[in-house]
Amino acid sequence: MRATVMYGAGDVRVEEVPDASISEPTDALLRITRACICGSDLWPYKQMPADSEGAPMGHEFIGVVEDVGVEVSTVAAGDVVVAPFMFSDGTCDFCGEGLHTSCRKGGMWGRSGTGGGQAEAVRVPYADGTLVKLPVAEDDALMPGLLTLSDVFCTGHHAAVCARVRPGQTVAVVGDGAVGLCGVIAAKRLGAERVLILGRHTDRTDLALELGAADVVAERGKEGVERVRDLTGGEGVHAVLECVGLEQAFQTAIGITRPGGAVGRVGVPQFDSLPGAGLSFFHNITVSGGVAPARAYIEELMPEVLEGDLQPGRVFDSEIGLADVPGGYKAMDERDSIKVMIRP
């Protein structure tokens, strides 16, 4: 079968690999029908040291179950399913607490003996815990939205939950990438009265406005903080969704939070210590967030995507075949595309 393998910065290849197959009684074998490229895939694309073994890529996908191990009971051959961006057993104490990303038996796609999702097929460990059945056919028009349940919409939702978004609040989203755009949808869904988006790519901030944002702040750093304060009567916002992961973005997030507010961070941090410690201390700002337990949110968010009330699938502005995946990475890295969907 064909799969995407990264061999170093800028070196992504689609090549023949051994066919995925069931090896444990709790596994399922999935034929992948939709996958995508994540903003987090761009970090290794920028800086991964050359590695002759290569790393299987892709952690967001929907597929059709081809076969299951003898202990699998919740999905069967022919089912259309979505996988969250990490696998988990669904039975340990952390899974019970809704923190599937810390599952005692869980792990990342493309590591621990599994392949990645930017491929024709994948072995799914702990299929009962990991997979969620979708009540649609494999070519349903809602596929883009449903694919965002794998990661990007659940991650935006996690940012909003961790930022403690409540009805009537003013909320800021730092970052106009696909996660930030999903954060706008999530904040509105939780009742935010007014959402500000901080970003400087007009195609993306225009989409944010269509998705429910009221104001765009293109300034960065100190100027961005001042602009948000101007827009909020000098106060700052109740809740900030930090969807970038760079030090300056986090500093901005702290700077625009009103006293007693909260920052939900979901941008993978490219720094070691949290900036703004003094300000967040004296303003009693809660800093929360982290890697989103997508599996905990899929069932909650899926109905509104199926009903068409929420349209997180609008973050996809490009669709390619598996052979074109290297070009998809390039397009996202050069910001020619917000998010690329793959039909293997």
Q: Is 240 in the site for Zn ion (CB under 5 A)?
A: no
Distance CA 178, CA 85 (A): 15
Q: Is 92 in the site for Zn ion (CB under 5 A)?
A: yes
Q: Which residues are within 8 A (CB) of 49 and not within 5 positions of it... i.e. 6 or more apart?
A: 8, 9
Q: Is 89 in the site for Zn ion (CB under 5 A)?
A: yes
Q: Between residues 120 and 128, which has the closer beta carbon with respect to Zn ion?
A: 128
Q: Is 128 in the site for Zn ion (CB under 5 A)?
A: no
What is the total count of residues that contact Zn ion (CB under 5 A)? 5
Distance CA 69, CA 130 (A): 14
Parallel, antiparallel, or unpaired: how do β-strands 80-83 and 107-108 relate? unpaired
What DSSP letter does each residue of 47-114 carry, written as one string? HPPP-SS-EE----EEEEEEEE-TT--S--TT-EEEE-SEE--S-SHHHHTT-GGG-SS-EETTSTT-
Q: Between residues 104 and 335, which has the closer beta carbon with respect to Zn ion?
A: 104
DSSP letter for 172, please: E
> Smallest gap, in angstroms, from Cβ of residue 96 to Zn ion?
8
Q: Between residues 29 and 95, which has the closer beta carbon with respect to Zn ion?
A: 95
Q: Between residues 103 and 239, which has the closer beta carbon with respect to Zn ion?
A: 103
DSSP letter for 119, please: B
Distance CA 240, CA 197 (A): 10
Instruction: Report how far Cα 277 is from the mean position of its chain's Cα atoms.
Output: 27
Distance CA 332, CA 140 (A): 25
> Smallest gap, in angstroms, from Cβ of residue 143 to Zn ion?
28
Q: Which residues are within 8 A (CB) of 114 and not within 5 positions of it... i.e. 6 or more apart?
A: 56, 87, 107, 122, 123, 124, 125
Sheet of 2-8: strand order equals 11-16, 2-8, 55-56
- Residue 53: CB atoms within 10 A of its CB come to 6
Q: Between residues 269 and 290, which has the closer beta carbon with respect to Zn ion?
A: 290
Q: Is 127 in the site for Zn ion (CB under 5 A)?
A: no
> Smallest gap, in angstroms, from Cβ of residue 24 to Zn ion?
15
Q: From 25-33, 78-86, 94-102, 156-164, give the range in contact with Zn ion by CB under 5 A.
A: 94-102
| Residue of closest CB approach to Zn ion | 103
Question: Which helix (DSSP H) or strand (DSSP E) does residue 210 occupy?
Answer: helix 202-210
Q: Is 195 in the site for Zn ion (CB under 5 A)?
A: no
> Smallest gap, in angstroms, from Cβ of residue 221 to Zn ion?
41
Q: Is 26 in the site for Zn ion (CB under 5 A)?
A: no
Which residue from 4, 40, 88, 130 is in contact with Zn ion, where contact means CB under 5 A? Answer: 88
Q: From 83-91, 145-153, 225-233, 260-268, give the range in contact with Zn ion by CB under 5 A.
A: 83-91
Q: Is 60 in the site for Zn ion (CB under 5 A)?
A: no
Q: From 10-18, 54-62, 98-106, 246-254, give the range in contact with Zn ion by CB under 5 A.
A: 98-106
> What string of H, E and C letters represents the secondary structure of 243-285?
CCCCHHHHHHHHHCEEEEEEEEECCCCCCCCCCCHHHHHHCCC
Which residue from 72, 86, 95, 320 is in contact with Zn ion, where contact means CB under 5 A? Answer: 95
Q: From 71-79, 101-109, 194-202, 252-260, give the range in contact with Zn ion by CB under 5 A.
A: 101-109
Which residue from 35, 62, 82, 103 is in contact with Zn ion, where contact means CB under 5 A? Answer: 103
Q: Between residues 126 and 250, which has the closer beta carbon with respect to Zn ion?
A: 126
- Using CB under 5 A, list all residues that contact Zn ion: 88-89, 92, 95, 103
